[in-house]
Structure 1
Amino acid sequence: MRGLWVATVDNIDWPTAPSVSPEEQQEELLTYLDLMVEMKMNCIFFQVRPVGDAFYESEIEPWSEFMTGEQGVAPDPLWDPLAFLVEHAHSRGIQVHAWINPYRAKVRTSLLLSCMPQKNSNKGLDPSHMAIRYSEYAYPYGSYLWMDPSAQVILDHILTVVDDILVRYEVDGLHIDDYFYPFPEGGLAFPDEATYAEYVSSGGTLSLEDWRRDNVNEMVQDLGNLVWSHDRIFSISPAGLYRPGHPEGMPPPIVGGDPYEDIFADSKLWLESGWMDWFIPQVYWAIAPPEQSFPEVLSWWLQVSADSAQKLVFGGTAIYKIEPPSDWDPQEIVDQIEISRQEDFRERFSMGNVHFSAKYFRDGTKNITEHFKGVYSKDAAIP
Structure 2
Amino acid sequence: MESRNRADLARALYAALAAGDREQLDALLHPEFTGRTAEGMPFGIGGDHDSPTAMRRNGWGRIARHFEARAEPEQFLDLADGRLLVTGRYRGHGRQGGAALDAAFAHLIAIDQGRIKSLEQFTDTARWHDAAGRLRTVLLDFEGGVATLRLNRPDKGNAIDTGMAADLAEAATQIAERSDVRAVLIAGNGPNFTVGGDLSLFAGTAREQLPSRLRRMIDSYHLAIERLTSIDAPVVAAVRGGAGGGGLGLLCAADIVVAADDARFALGYSALGLTADGGNTWFLPRMVGMRRAQELFLLNRRLTAQEALDFGLVSRLAPSDAVEDEAAALAAKLAAGPTRAFGAVRRMLRQSFETGLSDQLDAERESIVTASATDDAQEGIHAFIAKRRPRFRDE
Q: What TM-score bracket applies, with the shorter chain setting the length? A: 0.3 to 0.5
Q: Which has the higher strand share?
A: 2
What TM-score results when the alignment is normalised by the length of structure 1?
0.34
Larger radius of gyration: 2
